[in-house]
A and B are shown apart, each in its own frame.
Chain A
Amino acid sequence: MRWSKLLTMAAIILVIAALGITAAVPLPVFKDIAWLPWGKEIILGLDLQGGVHVVLEARDTPENKVNDETMKRAQAVLERRINETGVAEPVVQRQGERRIIVELAGIDDPEQAVIDLIQPAYLEFKNELGQTIITGADLKDAMEARDPNTGQVEVDLTFTPEGTKKFAQATTANVGKPIGIYLDGQLLQNPVVQEPITNGQARITGYENLDEAHTIAILLRSGALPVQLEVMEKRTVGPQLGQDSLDRSINAGIVGLVAILVFMVVYYRIPGLIADLALAFYALIVLAIFIGIHATMTLPGIAGFLLSLGIAVDANVIIFERVKEELRTGKSIRSAIDAGFKRGFVAVFDANVTTLIGAAVLYFFGTSVIRGFAVTLSIGILVSMFTAITLTRWFLHLTAATNAVKDPRYYGA
């Protein structure tokens, strides 16, 4: 018996338990520190928590009548805007002739979110005579930024090739004269043209902070709404999956997870117990990251998490089976652990990298539902590689070093 090693083990178990308790029971201490996961809750999506349900009604504008085509465009612009703000898996659907339903979950300030959402965001540059020389339709991109020299917040505009040409002509014709920048008919700035601008770049300044600039940049990037939208009603709605059904499913999930933990101990003995500890740690780390990156949890997200959990269990199983094989060849416990890890890791690595490649592609090419799945899966896989290779191995060696368990039979061999 090596007591020092035993004490280390006990300390590790205590740390995991403490982390688990603080995760379950939020401590007020960390609440105000934005990046610390403790004391905060996971944001849940529409299907798990419900959210705000807004009905918007379209009105004709001088330029556009409300018809099927403009409504389609308006819906697409709204979808882009919501996706850009990072709200996970919203509902945007047409209702009847001239209405659009928007449902959002997991926002701190739904009032403001809706107000931002329905801004027309019609950008115009006008010359001294009030003639429009270029509009938001000529924009390729808009990004918020902070000027490194002056520290002032701005929105940087990049025009399309077509727009660049227009802008170059207009600035050449107006050197020494002002060109006004208007958003939704309001004059934002009236800068005087110093010299012709031919690189297709412009900027708007005068924002309070980066957040404000960020919102404007998103609106400009997503394009202008072709029709005017008004909020007809706003209300909160319950989870799509129903609270009763969710409560039952959570309990069922716990039953399933406990079954896995028991199975691991029964089948793999000591290593199984160690794997359970590593898995508990794994789950805590993953959940902490979800909270830390403000991920919104939805059913697809949970599917990704469950798959990563399965992969994490699998990594342990692959390695233990290898350790068992090594033990059967008559190796000592410690060299069997090392050899088993070495050989098992190759399989785990290749399987995980392939799955990660898939997840990355889904993230870059997919939209809402697919993205939520890809994010949780990728985080889960990365963490599971870490825990299986470092924690499980370290725990196993510690256990072997305590000499408390000498008989290979306890290692399932």
Chain B
Amino acid sequence: MNRPFVHPYIPNTAPDVRAEMLDTVGAASVEDFYADVPADLRLGRDLDLPEPLVAEQDLARHVSGLLARNVPTTERLSFLGQGTYHHHVPAVVDEVIGRSEFLTAYAGEPYEDHGRFQALWQYQSLMGELLSMDVVNVPTYDGFQATATGLAMAGRITGRRRVLVASDVLPAKLSKVRDYVRVHLDLEFVDPVEGTADVAAIVARLGDDVAAIWVETPSRTGAVEHRLQALADAAHAVGAILVVGTDPVGYGVLTPPAEQGADIVCGDIQSLGLHQWYGGAHGGFIAVHDDPRFVMEMPSRLFGLATTDVPGEVGFGDVAYDRTSFAHREEGKEWVGTAAALWGIAAGVHLALMGPQGMRELGEVLLARTAYAQRALGAIPGIRLTDRAVHLREFAIDVAGAGLTASGIVTALRAEGIEPGVPAGEHELVVCVTETTSQADIDRLAAAVTGLVAASAAEAASTLDPIAEPEEHRA
């Protein structure tokens, strides 16, 4: 340990400087500054923490050593999704968000942080093009929060409590939404049919006390909702709002929900230029039409274009800075705080690189690979697809007919270096493919599952069925 304690992160631990500063402020020691902290609240001992690694090389070795125990998806064959997806991240995206100017800035103003305002306004605009909507927020935490807020907005706008949930929702997302809105909203589940909304059942449940229909597309199992317009029409007929939770990755090729009557579109931007980060890189978008009733209920910041004193100069500022002056509802607008701005900048760079053609190609690759994987796995005896909907990236297989369990498949294939998917119940496995999953990868998964099914069938054949066997024949 260095004595006296001088730390590279803390310049004023230099003893002479410290002494000079104490002298300047007329303090005998730093103890003077803590006069308001009562003696009986003082810790009075050193914190019990691990011995520090003050030399940078020692720290690097320790942390890298811990991380070295991870085996990433680049070293495994991964079919994992369920909220976090493995898409290709262009190098330019990481280059831009790695810049100190963006990485280490925070809550500056449009004047000295003009770049951030423009980058985030562009993110809003690029998302707006993708979603065909005129208003998109500066990102909130993640798609869970975005959807929870979108539903809360619907409640505030309509003054109603009932929400009809039309799709299968990720359990963790549902858990968040439920706890977030439960004081204000009651969720009612209408079971999907063949993976997508049961429109007739929803229409039957609609009334003038319904705040919103909540659709997730792609659903928990990757099913793409194809009757949004019918749901929108039914909702609007009773003054309810259509809230669509979605992943924007497919809208280079799929019709965006806004063009099918959606009022509030929300979701996660992790698929747009963010690495998986062990589930630690998410951002939430909320998009609405340019209607003050909706805009005024948005808690997040919204950046807008502005003129300056110089003709032709592009300026920015906060739109609807006071989000309550038009408000007709008494509820506050939740809150706004540190959320996911850097990820928003990344998603913007990603969309700019992809362009219309790139997003279209990506959507097509995803649809094609998903369909191919469905065929490959669905063709295995005893394995069936759970529904006939169009799927994007994810789909579920039912493995009961093969005498297998979902967790059994996971355990068995992990031994072969494959993460085959995520169990959703005893016999259901949700499989995910992206543009990073090649035909060969899918074939390898299908072969491995085929092997398991064969082994399971062989095992079943070699085991005498105790029920089918008459009692007197037992030894």
Q: Do A and B come from one complex?
A: no
Q: Report A's interface with B, CB cutoff 8 A.
A: none
Q: Report B's interface with A, CB cutoff 8 A.
A: none
